[in-house]
Structure 1
Amino acid sequence: MRNLAIFGTASDVGKSVVATALCRIFRNAGIDVAPFKAQNMSNNSGVTPDGFEIGRAQIVQAEAARVAPTADMNPVLLKPNTDTGAQVVLQGKVASNRSAREYFGDTRPWSDAAFESLLRLGDRHGMLVIEGAGSCAEMNLYDRDFVNFRTARASGASVILVADIDRGGVFAQVVGTLAVLPEEDRKRVAGIIVNRFRGDASLFREGIRILEERAEIPVLGLVPYFRGISIDAEDAVPLRTIVDPAGVPDTEKIGIAVVYFPHISNFTDFAVFDRDERVEVHYLHAPRNLDRYRAVVLPGSKNVRGDLEWLLANGWREKLETFREKGGVIAGICGGYQMLGERVSDPDGVEGRPGDSPGLGFLGVRTVLRKEKTLCNAMGRMNSGSLNVSGYEIHMGETLFSGDASPLLLVTSRNNLPSGGTDGALSPDGRVFGTYFHGIFDGTAFRNWFLRLIDPEFVQGDVGLDRDAEYDKLARHFEEHLDMEAIYRIIGFASRR
């Protein structure tokens, strides 16, 4: 197998995006390529066409490679639900909850599954683009780390090391990483990509010379920071830089506040609004005066009762009640939908300690968390008309009506099979709603319905995303700044130019 591994000097250096770009570059060059990440830690996940859960980043990479995403592309997914623990999703299905100490105490069950998936995936494709996790040189965990160099060894992959110059210290990042690696693994590193460069590239020529001299391997590219290309982020780390902005929404725009929970999940549900110049989205952790906002959205959560308690303890209930009394629209997606109800019960301790938590009481529903997770791609239509909707469901809860709310959606199919029943709830005044459908705002019809609910004078439009075109834009950006001739030589392919 001619495989290529993209490892990082640290977390959030851009490994996922680099891997995505290479998946599209190689596919456009006629190579049968697929992505692989042995273990991913993220609450931003998605559902494969056959109903399995994997990290959102691997779904994006599969789309870039023009192949159907499968559970083998991300066999171990860790979804943090406390500061020291996570739900373990193994080959697409929930396996257990583990503390960090329990998980790392014996990683053999997870690594065995990961390498089983690696072999299956390698048998189906001509090449794998393998993404590492975090820093590839965490020496205190090195003997238990199966995501980075153990995967590279098992797959025979050459390694490209990605460093982020935007955060500073790029020389120490690269040289320090290489210095602590065992010689066997150090020899696998075939080149360096310096990512997220800003400014005049000619001013870093001396920097490239120094890096190559100290590292004794080539710099394969100096990739500029890019804007205007829409690629789903792997997790919520990038959001932390924009949470609680100092200003308020522009009066000429529709202001939407998304509550930034401690365990926020699937925040990409709201990325579509970033492309609409008529809308301004703020992520808010601390409660504030909401008068300049037209809607507040409670997003998904990986610890619903814990985030609900945080919400109440920090004074969000009072802010939301006042906002509703003044006519604001409140929406909840998945965990946020559960919080809008009267009660959330976890009798089996699915997400933490067993017990009940009072909800916000904005919708006449109650939720019981169950051990079995619902995973599906779904389609339906608005209960109030013929408006078609689609999305995907990832939730542990079952929500039942207990008051005067009405169903929001009539479900027509799940995982391409006919399905009846309903989803979500709508308050009698039509100003509060919730749904389990992630990605529902990506559909133009539902998004326009939502924005007209906020502002009856809103003129509907289509700011939908052509994902395939975005992957091609990303590929062109990286091809322009990478030495692809050298990369093709590293993986043993003749140039595709």
Structure 2
Amino acid sequence: MKQAKCIAALGTGSDVGKSVVATALCRIFSDQGYKVAPYKAQNMSNNSGVTPEGLEMGRAQIVQAEAARIAPHVDMNPVLLKPVTQVGSQVVLLGKVHKDLSAAEYHREKAKLWDTACGALDRLRAAYDVVMLEGAGSCAEVNLMARDIVNLKMAAYAKAPVILTADIDRGGVFAQIVGTLACLNKAEQDFIAGFIINRFRGDIALFKDGVDWIEKKTGKPVFGVLPWMKHHIPNEDSVAIEHPVAKTDPAQTPTVLVVRTPHIANFTDFDVLSQVEGLGVDFVEHPRDLSAYKAVILPGSKSTRSDLNWLAKTGWTPKIQAYVKNGGHVLGICGGYQMLGTKVHDPQGLEGMPGDTDGLGLLPLETVLKAPKTTTISRFEWDGAPGLGYEIHMGRTASDKAANDGLLDVKKRNQQACIDFDGTMADSGRVMGTYMHGFFDSAPILKKWLSLLGLSELDPPESCGLQGRDRQYDMLARHFEKHVDVAAIINAMG
């Protein structure tokens, strides 16, 4: 049986650019005629998506599969951890909910998870020419390395040379690289084939002495220094919005406010909004005057009841209710949709202690949280405007279409034709809720929503959805090829 060559993008820390390196190389290898697949043994993120089979996996590997021009498959992310509390996560194994585990319980199951992850990689290696591995966080967390299944242990299993990625924009890049190596033993250091320095600002020529110092100090090559590049490739996790503050003056620029709840999920739903010229998009944590905003959005949530309690405790609830009473527009997506109703019931304690939580009371519906989880890729229409999105939720929301204005007509789920509806709207469309992630990825739907806000003069970006992302993958690949020695990386694979 043939085995694909492997290469691994590991990092000196979180959010240093591992996903960007992996995505760029997936597109470059595909351009060069290789059958390439992405792989991340274990992903911890509430940003997830759905495969064509209706199974759940991390968004980052779905993005990388798109860059590789292949359909995503759960073997590309066999273990997905979706944080529910500070010390526990829902474990999704090969696309299906396994169970909720505390950190200690999870570590006790590592042997089983390791076997699952290795089996998934073996299947990919049998089906593809190249497998692009991605690590998680820092590959040198010495207190975790004995139980690690995603960084150097997996690279060793795959016999994958490692590209160590460091972020110069946050400072201390020399310490990042040298310090990471110092935390590794000799055998682990030998897996590091070279370095990529990410997010450089300024004149690269002035950093030549820095490159020379790193290469002399470590005896390993710097494959390239990537200048900072603005792109619209979805982020892997919420590190990108960890400091949510209002950045736009809504009195000067039409602005949409996204409430940054503690358990926010699938915030990439709003990436396309940030690409609309003339529209501001702010993720905001602390309550503020909403009167000048064109819309308020409640995003998806991994813990709807907890986030509802947080909205009430912090003062968001009366702010949002008053905003609607005064004519404001509110949209809820997935967990945010559930929050807009009158009650969220959790009889089985899926999100903690069993019980009921009051919603915002802005839509005439109630939600019961219960298994199994709905995971679908869905085609839908909003008053004739077509859309393609995905649903990931454990709630069943009761909304009588005969009594309320159903929002979306669902035409297909997981490639099977259906006649159904999703979502609810009230107050002539000023309050809307839907389970559809990717709601804005259709240009006609985005245009219709902007017009509903009185922003008909604004236009969607030139390319939305997969078409727009595909252009971004090409731009990233060309940027990468310009500044990185791709031939040296290929040679490192042997």
Give the TM-score normalised by the residue count of structure 1: 0.95
For structure 1, the 5+ residue unaligned runs are 493-497
Residue of structure 2 in register with 1:12 after alignment: 15
8 A contact 1:272–1:464 mirrored in 2: no
1:399 counterpart (374, 397, 406): 397
Does residue 89 (structure 1) correspond to residue 92 (structure 2)? The answer is yes
Does residue 419 (structure 1) correspond to residue 422 (structure 2)? The answer is no
2-side partners of 1:63 and 1:193: how far apart? 23
For structure 2, the 5+ residue unaligned runs are none
8 A contact 2:19–2:60 mirrored in 1: yes
Distance 1:390-1:210 versus aligned 2 partners, 3 A rule: same
5 Å-filtered alignment, 1:267-282, equals 267-282=267-282
1-side partners of 2:119 and 2:109: how far apart? 17
2-side partners of 1:2 and 1:409: how far apart? 45
Does residue 61 (structure 1) correspond to residue 68 (structure 2)? The answer is no
Residue of structure 2 in register with 1:354 after alignment: 354
8 A contact 1:275–1:463 mirrored in 2: no
Residue of structure 2 in register with 1:21 after alignment: 24
Residue of structure 2 in register with 1:485 after alignment: 487
1-side partners of 2:334 and 2:117: how far apart? 29
Amino acid at match of 1:389: G
Residue of structure 1 in register with 2:145 after alignment: 142
1-side partners of 2:42 and 2:367: how far apart? 31
Q: CA deviation at 1:386?
A: 2.4
Give per-residue Cα distances to partners, 1:400-453, cap 9 Å, x unaligned.
Answer: 027953211121110110112211111143210100000011111111111111
Residue of structure 1 in register with 2:6 after alignment: 3
Residue of structure 1 in register with 2:447 after alignment: 448
Q: CA deviation at 1:456?
A: 6.3
Q: CA deviation at 1:318?
A: 1.3
8 A contact 1:272–1:463 mirrored in 2: no
1-side partners of 2:186 and 2:206: how far apart? 32
Q: CA deviation at 1:366?
A: 0.3
Amino acid at match of 1:397: G
1-side partners of 2:150 and 2:66: how far apart? 22
Residue of structure 2 in register with 1:164 after alignment: 167
Does residue 476 (structure 1) correspond to residue 474 (structure 2)? The answer is no
Q: CA deviation at 1:250?
A: 5.0
Does residue 211 (structure 1) correspond to residue 214 (structure 2)? The answer is yes
Distance 1:138-1:394 versus aligned 2 partners, 3 A rule: same
2-side partners of 1:237 and 1:450: how far apart? 28
8 A contact 1:132–1:147 mirrored in 2: yes
Distance 1:147-1:58 versus aligned 2 partners, 3 A rule: same
Give per-residue Cα distances to partners, 1:214-261, cap 9 Å, x unaligned.
Answer: 21111110111101x2111101111224x122552253x421110001
Residue of structure 1 in register with 2:264 after alignment: 264
Report SS of the residue matched to 1:134. coil
2-side partners of 1:125 and 1:163: how far apart? 28
Residue of structure 2 in register with 1:185 after alignment: 188
Distance 1:247-1:475 versus aligned 2 partners, 3 A rule: closer
Distance 1:423-1:30 versus aligned 2 partners, 3 A rule: same
1-side partners of 2:121 and 2:354: how far apart? 37
Distance 1:333-1:273 versus aligned 2 partners, 3 A rule: same
Q: CA deviation at 1:64?
A: 0.6
Distance 1:246-1:25 versus aligned 2 partners, 3 A rule: closer
Does residue 310 (structure 1) correspond to residue 313 (structure 2)? The answer is no
2-side partners of 1:199 and 1:410: how far apart? 50
Report SS of the residue matched to 2:236. coil
2-side partners of 1:179 and 1:281: how far apart? 42
8 A contact 1:89–1:96 mirrored in 2: yes
8 A contact 2:276–2:458 mirrored in 1: no
8 A contact 1:250–1:280 mirrored in 2: no
2-side partners of 1:144 and 1:442: how far apart? 39
8 A contact 2:278–2:458 mirrored in 1: no
2-side partners of 1:157 and 1:299: how far apart? 38
5 Å-filtered alignment, 1:103-252, equals 103-227=106-230, 229-241=231-243, 243-245=244-246, 247-251=248-252
Amino acid at match of 1:284: V
8 A contact 1:166–1:198 mirrored in 2: yes
Report SS of the residue matched to 1:95. strand
Amino acid at match of 1:447: L
1-side partners of 2:374 and 2:22: how far apart? 29
Distance 1:246-1:4 versus aligned 2 partners, 3 A rule: closer
Distance 1:457-1:442 versus aligned 2 partners, 3 A rule: closer
Give the TM-score normalised by the residue count of structure 2: 0.96
Residue of structure 2 in register with 1:495 after alignment: none
Report SS of the residue matched to 2:137. strand
2-side partners of 1:344 and 1:235: how far apart? 26
Report SS of the residue matched to 1:331. strand
Residue of structure 2 in register with 1:379 after alignment: 379
How many aligned positions are there?
487
Report SS of the residue matched to 1:441. helix
Residue of structure 2 in register with 1:337 after alignment: 337
1-side partners of 2:471 and 2:362: how far apart? 40
2-side partners of 1:246 and 1:477: how far apart? 28
Report SS of the residue matched to 2:412. strand
8 A contact 1:379–1:389 mirrored in 2: yes
8 A contact 1:366–1:402 mirrored in 2: no
C-alpha RMSD of the superposition: 1.4
